[in-house]
Amino acid sequence: MTNKWAGLAALLAGFFVILLDATIVAVASPRIQQDLHASVAGLFWVTAGYLLAFSVPLLVAGRLGDRYDPRRVFLAGIGSFAGASALCGLAPSVGWLVVFRVVQGLAAAAMAPQALTLIRRLFGADERGRALGLWGTVASAGALLGPLLGGLLTAALDWRWIFLVNVPICCAAFLMGLRWIPSSRGHTASLDLLGALLSTMGLGVLVWALLAWRDTPAPVIAAAGAIAVALLAGFVVRQRRIGSAALAPPAVFGSAGFLAASGAVAALGTVVIAMALPTMLYLQDVRGLGPLQAAVVMTPDAVVAALLSPAAGRWVDRVGPRRPAILGMVLLAASLMLIGLVVVLGVDPWWAAPAAVVLGIANAVAWSPLSVAAMASVNAADAGAASGVFSTIRQVAAVTGVAATGAILAGLRASPTLAFSVVFALMTVIASAGVLAAIRLPKTSTDGGHGSEEAVVAQATTNHQKQPEPGGTTPDTTPPAPRHAATAND
């Protein structure tokens, strides 16, 4: 049985808990430290371990979806996330909490790339923007609600409930996905194990260096950087040699639309994630607002994004991804410039609220077209790999942004106003680079030359109702291009 909107709800629930758990721990950290007698380093890795485990396997997870069916990988991921969340809530020590958080991150990595692949499968090109608009709404809500929900649960119940709250959400999403997301037989191509090893080790060392640089000697970080570059260079060479069986197929990077969308989403992911902590620190530590007041100042971001994202998605369906993406990235840069002016001029911090409104419009308008353009610019057979690459770029860019802002704030801590001014100036420059990338997006969705996948949904539903034949292969059911398809480059 297929119900695309119910299936989308299951995917959005999974995406919501992934984002929620990236930010929900921060506000409960003092209680965790007190209850588990944790060191500062141990407390740091409660969050960093999750980010590391989430970022590193995304490439492999995307290709696993292509091979074994994204529905199956998504369900395995969300089931594992529920189990890991329960274990986090029962953790007897900070060491075990870090271990369970790593398992959570691995489960999140299994889920994340499958969402875009399954949205492409569930929705035709004329509805995909609307679906991804809702995806953008959840992205904004998850990022904002993490600290708020974490604070409420910790104050009203106990810090353990910031993890236990995931269990019913994940169970509901699992049952909905099991019933309403169509399955497929996957592909018969072999998995590139050497490429998986090189990418996992290279990204692992890189992300570890970005997260651990503050407490690690500089020569060790430099050596780690050199090792990461060597491993990732080896990975690139490997991908070029094996062609279509690669974790990151060369055909994906041969699409100008995918490259432009990836460049823009790298800027968007960097800015949206990296600005959160500096903004909260500035409003509270420099301007003296309480945690709740600081949250209220930035609440218009999530509220406006939630209200406008569905309409923005329909706009993308109507006019294509380029114009909405350009507007979103321009507004993103404008919002950062406005917050920077609040910092530089020292005006009332509540003037950051209008900037949060602009930021909310930017979030509503930018996420959907970038995802539409990226997934529409690749073939259906490479959708999982493309989603894995797209998610990896976004996540590694976000971790890099967090590391860069942390370095600036630490290096200029003697002059807080200067430090925060430099941070928001850098974020504005990055957002402006995203505008340039968005300008290179295609005007209309292309579906990688294969158009809407409504026929794929029908075929996938048929497959779901049949028992697979041992050793059987899946015939090519790629539908013809729709009437409104256009070229990837304009």
pLDDT tens across 128-186, in order? 777 877 777 776 667 667 767 777 787 788 889 989 999 999 999 999 989 888 877 65
**Lowest mean per-residue pLDDT among 30-44, 316-330, 413-427:** 30-44
Tokens describing residue 417: 């106003």
Is the pLDDT at 201 greater than 70? The verdict is yes
Closest by CA position to 29, among listed 44, 18, 16, 19 = 44
Write the single-letter amino acid at 311.
A
Closest by CA position to 36, among listed 96, 102, 105, 100 = 96
| C-beta of residue 294 within 8 angstroms of C-beta of residue 276 | no
pLDDT tens across 381-407, in order? 677 778 788 888 888 888 888 888 878
pLDDT tens across 112-136, in order? 888 878 887 888 777 777 787 777 7
Q: Per-residue pLDDT averaged across 239-251, rounded? A: 75
To which residue do tokens 């999140």 refer? 108
Q: Per-residue pLDDT averaged across 192-202, rounded? A: 84
Local structure of 149: helix, strand or coil: helix
When pLDDT is cut at 50, 70 and 90, the band that residue 191 belongs to is confident
Tokens describing residue 367: 């996420």
pLDDT, residue 275, reads 82
CATH architecture, domain 4-192+247-465: Up-down Bundle (1.20)
| C-beta of residue 63 within 8 angstroms of C-beta of residue 389 | no
pLDDT tens across 17-30, in order? 888 887 777 767 77
When pLDDT is cut at 50, 70 and 90, the band that residue 414 belongs to is confident
Please give the radius of gyration of the chain, using alpha carbons only, rounded to the nearest integer: 22
Closest by CA position to 8, among listed 71, 102, 54 = 71
113 vs 430 pLDDT, higher one: 430
Helical pair 416-439 and 322-345, crossing angle rounded to 10 deg: 170
pLDDT, residue 482, reads 39
pLDDT, residue 469, reads 36
| C-beta of residue 14 within 8 angstroms of C-beta of residue 74 | yes
Percent of the chain scoring above 70 in pLDDT: 86
Write the single-letter amino acid at 146.
G
pLDDT, residue 483, reads 35
pLDDT, residue 223, reads 92
Q: What's the CA gap between 359 and 366, in Å, rounded?
A: 10
Is the pLDDT at 344 greater than 50? The verdict is yes
pLDDT tens across 252-302, in order? 777 888 899 999 999 998 888 788 778 877 887 788 887 667 778 887 887
pLDDT tens across 450-483, in order? 444 444 434 433 443 443 433 333 334 334 333 3
pLDDT tens across 51-91, in order? 888 888 888 888 788 778 889 999 999 999 999 999 999 99
pLDDT, residue 48, reads 78
Q: What's the CA gap between 101 and 25, in Å, rounded?
A: 11
What are the residue ranges spanned by the domains of the chain?
4-192+247-465, 193-246
User: What's the Cα-to-Cα distance from 255 to each of 371, 373, 480, rounded to whole Å?
Assistant: 14, 10, 19
pLDDT, residue 83, reads 95
Q: Average pLDDT, whole number, for the chain?
A: 80
Task: Write down the pTM of the prediction.
Answer: 0.74
pLDDT, residue 187, reads 59
